[in-house]
Every structure is written in structure tokens, then in C-alpha cells.
Amino acid sequence: MSPARTLESSPLPTTQTAIIQGEGGILSIHHNAPLPTLRPDRILVKVAYVAINPCDWKMADRFPTPGCVDGCDFSGTVVALGSDWAKTGRFKIGDRVCGGVHGSNPIDQSTGCFADYVSADAQFTFHVPEYMGMEDAAAVGGTGIGTLGLALKRSLGLPGSPRDPVPESESVQVLVYAASTSVGTLATQLLRMSGHKPIGVCSAKNFDMVKSYGAVKLFDYHSPTCAQDIRAYTKNTLAHILDPITEPKTTELCYAAMGRAGGKYCALEAFAEEFCTRRVVKPELVMGMAILGGRIALDYGYESEADPEKRVFGVSWYEEMQELLDSGRLRNHPVRSFPGGFEGIMKGLHLLKTKQVSGEKLIVQLG
């Protein structure tokens, strides 16, 4: 580890338990993994809880890189400060924090949070407010927040923000597919606080939950007339769509729901060009961790070069999200406590991969 200020009363171990990719991206539990390198711009966090996201199994499945530590969203306690942060006072040892990291990152293999310790970018880490428990803090994490910053502001180009909402005259309707997912409920809140009108697509069983986060109208994707019903409700003028799932059937529905004049379709997964059937609809893939400003060393359309401007935007966005957390305005997704520690993470990943989770966030305690 590089020079850092550490918690003297609790010397750091030399090894840790972590979930790491093996050959073919197969994830397994390792009990003698090295601690992550603490760079000057990072803080070292003793992990308390982790959230399990679809990207946690997808990264290993689609971009197998043996040696990568998996996991993105966490909460925990600061135990060491990189040299850039040791004297700033923004973070101190013992602080409760939460955030998101680029787990299973081929060019930064030790960064994942499915481990006893995680090395987190300090500028993209939140202080956990006093009112919030660490389990809920892990559900907040940071992956969804970063992704939606890029999606809502840079991809869809929506005006306003929770800090500076648009007036009613500038409010637009935004369709949120998979509105009952954690990204969906977060997007719904951010849109509503920014002055816009979030319209959700999800299963009818989750309507009440999604309404509680601010959706103005909901549609059941099981309905054979779902897209037509959305077009009727929006008077054929819908021009902004967020699709966290981005499968052929979701792309087809979203394209069918888009208004006559077309608009912007923001996909959070790679989309198949053959299902992008309308020239007036402009699709774009958003890779959330690009908000950190570094190079994304993946493929299949997810790759991108370093972009310092995205980092500048991201730092400002996270500062605004910290304000929302501190004021209690930003709610986390409903939590499902999942037992078993590291074994529990492995089981939870299987549940997500086999689509056995709906309307809740799996949270596992590690520390």
C-alpha cells in the first residue's frame, strides 16, 4: 500500500476475504486475497454491508478477467486515507461512508467491494447521514447515482436538477422502464425532484411501491397494449425514455411507446441495433462508471477513453446528491436483508441472474 494515514489502534491485516473472478469469470470466495492498493486519491474502507446489483454477475459473465475483485455498492467505515486526503479534513478515520466502485475492473483489479476492505475514490464517496443505518446506506451505494447522473443530464439532456428544478412550463414526461428496480425508483425520485413527470413501466404488483417514490403514472409491461397505452397517455409526444434493462423486448416496447416525432432512448445496457427501428429515435448507451473519468477497458460497446469532463460533472453531481442524502430527501430502494456473508453474496448473485428478485435490493452484511 502507498503511504497513508491509518487507524493506529487497529493495524490493518495483510490479507482479506474477497470474491474474485477465476478462469472464465467464475466467481469464488478467496480467504487470503491481498488488500487493495490505496492510491493517493482514495480512501480505504472496512466494508460493513454490500448491495448486490445485476452488474455484479454481468461483469464477470460478459467480461471475464481472472483476478478481478467483484462488487460495486458498499457501506463501511474509513480506516485509512490516501495522501491526497490525509490533510483535507473532508474525511477522517472512523467516518461512516457509502459509495460505488468499478468492481471487476480489468485495469484496476483489486477495487471491488465484495471484500473485507475496499479502496474507494474519495470524491465519489458519500458521508452516511446520522439518521441512516449502514444497511440502507449500502442500498444507496453510488453506482445507480453515477449512472443516472450521466443518463438524465448528459444522455437525455434533461434541464433542471433537484437543487434547481424546472418550472411547470418546462417539465417533460420521461418514461422509466423497470421502474420497480433500484435504478428505477432512484430515477423516479430524481426526475420528480427536478420538476419532471416520471412515467413508470413495471409489474402491476409493484405499482404502489413505485408510486410512493413519485411516479405520476404507471403501466404494466405484461399488458399486450402497454406501448399503445403509453402513447395514448402521452398524446403521442413522449421524447425521453430510460431503459435500465435493454433487452430486445424492452427496446421494442420503448420504441413503440416513443412519440411520433421521436426522441432520445437512453439504454443502460448494450442495445441490439436491429431493434432500433425508428430513425427519429436516437439511442445511446450509458456506462455508469464512466462518470469517474477514467478509461473503461471493456468491449461490446461499453468501452470508452478517459474523459476528464465527465469526472468534473460527476464531482458536482455527487456533491448535490450528498445534499439530498443529508436532508433526507433521497430514499433508498426497499431492502431485503440477505444472510450468509460471502456465501450469501454468491447465493444472491444467483437469484439476480435467474430473475428471482423483484422490487427489492439484496443487502448482505460483511462486517
Determine whether the annotation assigns residue 361 to a binding site: no
Query: Is 149 annotated as a binding-site member?
Result: yes
Report the alpha-carbon distance of residue 191 to residue 49 in Å, rounded.
Answer: 28
Is 357 labelled a binding residue?
yes
Known binding residue 214? Answer is no
38 is in an annotated binding site: no
Q: Is 57 annotated as a binding residue?
A: yes
Q: Is residue 320 a known part of a binding site?
A: no
Check whether 55 is labelled as a binding-site residue: yes
93 is in an annotated binding site: no
Is 92 annotated among the ligand-binding residues?
no
Three cell numbers written together for 105: 475492473
Q: Name the CA radius of gyration of the chain, rounded.
A: 20
d(CA 109, CA 216) in angstroms, rounded, equals 42
284 marked ligand binding residue: no
324 is known to lie in a ligand binding site: no
Strands (E), the chain: 4-6, 15-21, 27-34, 42-52, 73-82, 96-100, 117-121, 125-127, 173-177, 197-202, 217-220, 240-243, 263-267, 281-285, 335-337, 361-365
> Is 56 a known ligand-binding residue?
yes
Give start and end residues of each alpha helix (H) in the chain: 54-62, 134-140, 143-148, 182-193, 207-211, 226-233, 248-257, 308-327, 341-353
Binding site annotation covers 87? no
Residue 340 marked in a binding site: no
Contact 170, 106 (CB under 8 A): no
The side-by-side arrangement of strands in the sheet containing 240-243 is 217-220, 197-202, 173-177, 240-243, 263-267, 281-285
C-alpha cell at 144: 445507480
Length of the chain: 367
**Is residue 288 marked as binding?**
yes
Is 203 a known ligand-binding residue? yes
Is 146 known to sit in a ligand binding site? yes
Nearest to 256 by CA among 222, 283, 229, 217: 229
Is 269 known to sit in a ligand binding site?
yes
Residue 145 annotated in ligand binding: yes
**Residue 168 labeled ligand binder:** no
Nearest to 252 by CA among 227, 231, 235, 269: 227
Q: Please indicate if the annotation marks 195 as binding a ligand.
A: no
- Binding-site residue ranges: 55-58, 143-150, 203-206, 221, 268-269, 288-292, 357-358
- Binding-site residue ranges for NADP(+): 55-58, 203-206, 221, 268-269, 357-358
- Binding-site residue ranges for substrate: 143-150, 288-292
